[in-house]
A and B are shown apart, each in its own frame.
Chain A
Amino acid sequence: MTITYLEAIREAQEKALRDDERVYIYGQDVGAFGGAFKATKNLAKEFPGRVLDAPISEDAMVGSAIGAAIEGMRPIIEMQFADFSAVAINQIVNQAATLYWRTQVACPITIRLPSGGNPGSGPFHSQCLESLYSHFPGLVVMTPATVEDAYTMLLEAVEIDDPVIFCEHKYLYNRLKSDLLPETGLPCDTARVARFGRDVTIVTYSAMVHEALAAADQLRKEDIEAEIIDLRCVKPFDLRTVLSSVARTARLLCVGESWPWGGVNSEVITSVVTHGFLLLDAPPQRINSKDTPIPFHPNLWGVHKPSSQVIAAAARRLCEW
């Protein structure tokens, strides 16, 4: 039996609904229809009254989740696409993220953001917003790259007493498969070494982990061994694991699918330079999507986001420094 990244998300929600009566799911078309991507398939039938269709009102969806969380519930909000969470940004960053700070009342909500591009999706169905949400104090931002993490981290997101932005990557939904789901996983604030190497550290997360792994395969043919760190969670992120890798390789390349300005890559590089400047033999580099809206046509989209070839070329240059 195999299970996909998308099915892992569904399974995690099923388990959360089964194990914890405080959990409910709210989002557009998540009920009988099972969600735009089928992440809630059959859940409305299995858990009557707990998987609810919402009107097209992202602001009120998140606002209501906050109110329910204050009263002891553990809501999971499905945004149909990460891009649409922009409509709810006020509730997310001003209401949810500040609640505990202002009132000492926790806000345990999980907001699922189907993120990232697919061919033909265009500017408003392709965004990766982890850098945006990481900017705001009070939010936890998860970016799972594997089937196993999609499952255990979503369960962890529901358990965490703070608002969690769960960036699940649409490109991975049906492309990633695993044999079975784990009982437990690493805590989100621990990074995973996805591949060991001695020559260059590539820090990445979400779908870009797989592009980086493909780049590492190419580089191996040239006798360059890249170490791939999968951050898993970008806020907080595991600086210790990153620094210990850079201590060995002395070279850092950060890869993310979001836009470059003020982003996760910038934060990782700043932290490494601040805490480990003397570990570095070359200036740290980053690769992001191009600093433009996301193009619709696959010819353009294919070069808009970082690819394994671009990652390999950047790693090669770093190693030649």
Chain B
Amino acid sequence: MLDTLKQPKRGVVPPASREQYVEAFNWMLLARTVEEKLASLWRAGKISGGVYLGKGQEAISAALGIMLKPGDIFGPLIRDQAGRLAFGEPLIDVFRVHFGSRTGLSRGRDGNVHRGDPRRGYHAMISHLGSLISVVIGALVARRFQGDITAIGATTIGDGGTSTGAFHEALNMAAVEKLPLVVVVVNNQYAYSTPNHRQFACTDLVERAIGYGIEGHSLDGTDLRECLEVLGQATERARSGHGPQMVVGNCLRLTGHGEHDDAFYMDKSLSYTRLGRDCLKVAENYLQEHQWADEALLENWRKNAKEQVEDAVVNAQHEPLADPNSETWCPYATQRIAAALSVR
């Protein structure tokens, strides 16, 4: 069956350069540092609601983020801190939204991973999985109407999200419209607590690309080099008119679903497999093996990430919080509609 999978040959895109690898690594490192801080702020009771981390998925996310260019469209999901930063999210926005700052992207109206800046192609997910894919499709349709044939769109989803009707509708629609869309399925083995074998029955999720008539790619999500190579190729294929690309990245979620979840249900033996490797450690080793960075340089990068995060936290904490008295309580953009409803 896999014989019919349209899987472009590897090696079309040259292996990652030191420059590219180091850039992606630093986004991974910054994302990990951000998330460790978020977890500690959450434990200290400084963040309302949940905190959802992407530990173990930074390589896929960062590699995708750096393949996108200004003017592209990105619909990140919950474990995409690295990709968000690589796509240009200002660090302070992460903390503004988590704290509920009045100056943040959603001004206390929505929190944590639901942030985005759709004006610049950075979409704000809702909790309903699969539903963001068609929004990215629509943005690409608009670009096509407007004569922009250079932009691509990318969005991510987990193994669980592939079971939704919205996922199926969107993948099929993107294929029908032959859009330059990259859908990255991060199979981190668990959807909250549900393991793969209770989620889907195909051998490998990439097989689904066959049914949609689109190109499929697989990658080892613990290996940044492979993430860069395969996502480089998938984004390039999308950009050069080969239609939607489905990329399935395999890894292990190295954290609970959220910080409230101790993940007691996870099969501990997975930690000792290739899937269970920490992509950040793998990348550090790779950098050292290739003499692209030594321990002193790594330590310097870590220190730099920590400083940036501390600065962002302090600055965000000084901002005023969401306030019911200055809140407009108006969900309408049209003034006269808002006025008509405020009469009551």
| B202 interface residue (CB < 8 Å to A) | no
| B334 interface residue (CB < 8 Å to A) | yes
Q: Which of A29-37, A65-73, A175-183, A207-215 contacts B (4 or more CB under 8 A)?
A: A65-73
Cα distance A50–B319 in the bound complex, in angstroms: 46
User: Is there an interface contact between B109 and A68, defined as CB atoms closer than 8 Å?
Assistant: no
| B78 interface residue (CB < 8 Å to A) | no
User: Is there an interface contact between B169 and A67, defined as CB atoms closer than 8 Å?
Assistant: no
List chain A residues, Cβ under 8 A from B162. none
Cα distance A70–B176 in the bound complex, in angstroms: 22
Given contacts A90-B131, A103-B106, A95 and B138 within 8 Å (CB-CB)? no
User: Is there an interface contact between A63 and B146, defined as CB atoms closer than 8 Å?
Assistant: no
Interface residues of A in 155-187 (CB under 8 A from B): 160-162, 187
Interface residues of A in 71-107 (CB under 8 A from B): 71-73, 75, 90-91, 94-95, 97-103, 105-107
| A263 interface residue (CB < 8 Å to B) | no
List chain A residues, Cβ under 8 A from B314. none
User: Is there an interface contact between B344 and A239, defined as CB atoms closer than 8 Å?
Assistant: yes
**In-complex Cβ contact of B138 among A64, A138, A161 (8 A):** A64
List chain B residues, Cβ under 8 A from A66. 134-135, 138
User: Is there an interface contact between A24 and B336, defined as CB atoms closer than 8 Å?
Assistant: no
User: Is there an interface contact between A59 and B166, defined as CB atoms closer than 8 Å?
Assistant: yes
Smallest CB separation, A65 vs chain B (Å)? 6
| B309 interface residue (CB < 8 Å to A) | no
**In-complex Cβ contact of A103 among B116, B136, B146, B166 (8 A):** B116
| A57 interface residue (CB < 8 Å to B) | yes
| B36 interface residue (CB < 8 Å to A) | no
Cα distance A50–B144 in the bound complex, in angstroms: 11
User: Is there an interface contact between A60 and B173, defined as CB atoms closer than 8 Å?
Assistant: yes
User: Is there an interface contact between B340 and A67, defined as CB atoms closer than 8 Å?
Assistant: no
**In-complex Cβ contact of A102 among B119, B124, B128 (8 A):** B124
| A140 interface residue (CB < 8 Å to B) | yes
Cα distance A66–B140 in the bound complex, in angstroms: 11
List chain B residues, Cβ under 8 A from A161. 333-334
| B170 interface residue (CB < 8 Å to A) | yes
User: Is there an interface contact between B137 and A63, defined as CB atoms closer than 8 Å?
Assistant: yes
User: Is there an interface contact between A64 and B135, defined as CB atoms closer than 8 Å?
Assistant: yes
User: Is there an interface contact between A94 and B126, defined as CB atoms closer than 8 Å?
Assistant: yes
| A260 interface residue (CB < 8 Å to B) | no
User: Is there an interface contact between A68 and B128, defined as CB atoms closer than 8 Å?
Assistant: no
List chain B residues, Cβ under 8 A from A15. none
| B210 interface residue (CB < 8 Å to A) | no
Closest A residue by C-beta to B343? A239
Smallest CB separation, B108 vs chain A (Å)? 11
| A271 interface residue (CB < 8 Å to B) | yes
Interface residues of B in 264-289 (CB under 8 A from A): none
User: Is there an interface contact between A90 and B128, defined as CB atoms closer than 8 Å?
Assistant: yes
User: Is there an interface contact between B134 and A91, defined as CB atoms closer than 8 Å?
Assistant: yes
List chain B residues, Cβ under 8 A from A91. 131, 134
User: Is there an interface contact between B128 and A160, defined as CB atoms closer than 8 Å?
Assistant: no
Interface residues of A in 220-247 (CB under 8 A from B): 235-236, 238-240
| A217 interface residue (CB < 8 Å to B) | no
| B133 interface residue (CB < 8 Å to A) | yes
User: Is there an interface contact between B134 and A102, defined as CB atoms closer than 8 Å?
Assistant: no
Smallest CB separation, A177 vs chain B (Å)? 31
Cα distance A270–B196 in the bound complex, in angstroms: 50
| A123 interface residue (CB < 8 Å to B) | no
**In-complex Cβ contact of B141 among A64, A162, A187, A235 (8 A):** A64
User: Is there an interface contact between B344 and A67, defined as CB atoms closer than 8 Å?
Assistant: no
User: Is there an interface contact between B337 and A68, defined as CB atoms closer than 8 Å?
Assistant: no
List chain B residues, Cβ under 8 A from A24. 145
| A298 interface residue (CB < 8 Å to B) | no
User: Is there an interface contact between B336 and A187, defined as CB atoms closer than 8 Å?
Assistant: yes
| B204 interface residue (CB < 8 Å to A) | no
**In-complex Cβ contact of B134 among A59, A71, A106, A235 (8 A):** A59
Shortest Cβ-Cβ A-B pairs, 5 listed: A67-B138, A63-B134, A71-B142, A64-B138, A57-B169
Selected A-B contacts with CB under 8 Å, 24 pairs = A50-B145, A57-B173, A64-B134, A64-B138, A64-B141, A64-B173, A67-B138, A67-B142, A68-B145, A71-B139, A71-B146, A72-B142, A72-B146, A90-B128, A94-B126, A94-B127, A94-B128, A98-B126, A99-B118, A99-B124, A102-B124, A103-B124, A189-B340, A271-B344
Where the two chains meet, the residues of B that have a C-beta atom closer than 8 Å to any C-beta of A are 105-106, 109-110, 114, 116-119, 123-124, 126-128, 131-143, 145-146, 165-166, 169-170, 172-173, 176, 331-334, 336-337, 340-341, 343-344
Q: A67-B139, A236-B337 are in contact. List 6 more A-B contacts (CB 8 A).
A: A55-B176, A59-B169, A60-B169, A64-B141, A67-B141, A68-B139
